[in-house]
Amino acid sequence: MVHLRVCKQKEDIELYTHYMLSNKARLHPGMDHRLMFLLLSAQFQHGEMLIALNEDHRVVGAAGYCYGTADQHFANKETVMVDRVYLDEDRRGSRLFVQGLQVLAGLLEQSPVQVTNIQFYIPEQDMRLCRLCDRFANRVLKLRTPAGVDVLYLATPESLSSYSRTLVGSP
């Protein structure tokens, strides 16, 4: 059984940071330390981080997002930017991703900010992940970033909730 939780305690933030830095190269082939620290800094200041812990309390997945986007200096709080999501190889294709979508949708529903858009980037060469994201989000554009070519996706909180409910058969 995997348990997802928001990183509020110092220990959880340390686990999140260590996990993301340890998997930096697998997150995106072009990711360097400088860019990773910029993303982490934005999450600490403008967003939230989630960790997935297995039965042994080992991190097997993590995600981070910000209220607002860097190009708007995080003033556009109605847009949530999901910076990074990473799952251990053996957890991919499991229900953990859907659990993460459900937790994110719930957090956004409870947020004091009225979120209308969810943005995220997917490395263009990750066709499997792009096909998955095509199920609940729209491709907006391709963008050359310091980490390589990414596809920008745009979803709504409703499309996220709807997709995750169809996968678990919830009402």
Question: What region does 93 belong to: left with phi over 0, alpha with psi -120 to 50, or beta?
Answer: left
- Contact predicate 83/39, CB 8 Å: yes
| Count of other CB atoms within 10 angstroms of residue 124 | 14
pTM across the whole model: 0.87
Residue 171 pLDDT grade (very low, low, confident, very high; cuts 50, 70, 90): very low
- Contact predicate 99/117, CB 8 Å: no
Q: Which of 65, 56, 51 shows the shortest CA–CA distance to 13?
A: 51
142 phi/psi in degrees, rounded to 5: -105, 145
**Could you give the domains of the chain?**
3-168 (3.40.630.30)
**Segment 9-28, tens digit of pLDDT:** 999 999 999 999 898 877 76
**Segment 89-136, tens digit of pLDDT:** 999 878 888 888 889 988 998 999 999 999 998 889 889 889 989 999
Based on DSSP, count helices (H) and strands (E) in the chain, helices before strands.
6, 7
DSSP at 146: T
123 phi/psi in degrees, rounded to 5: -55, 130
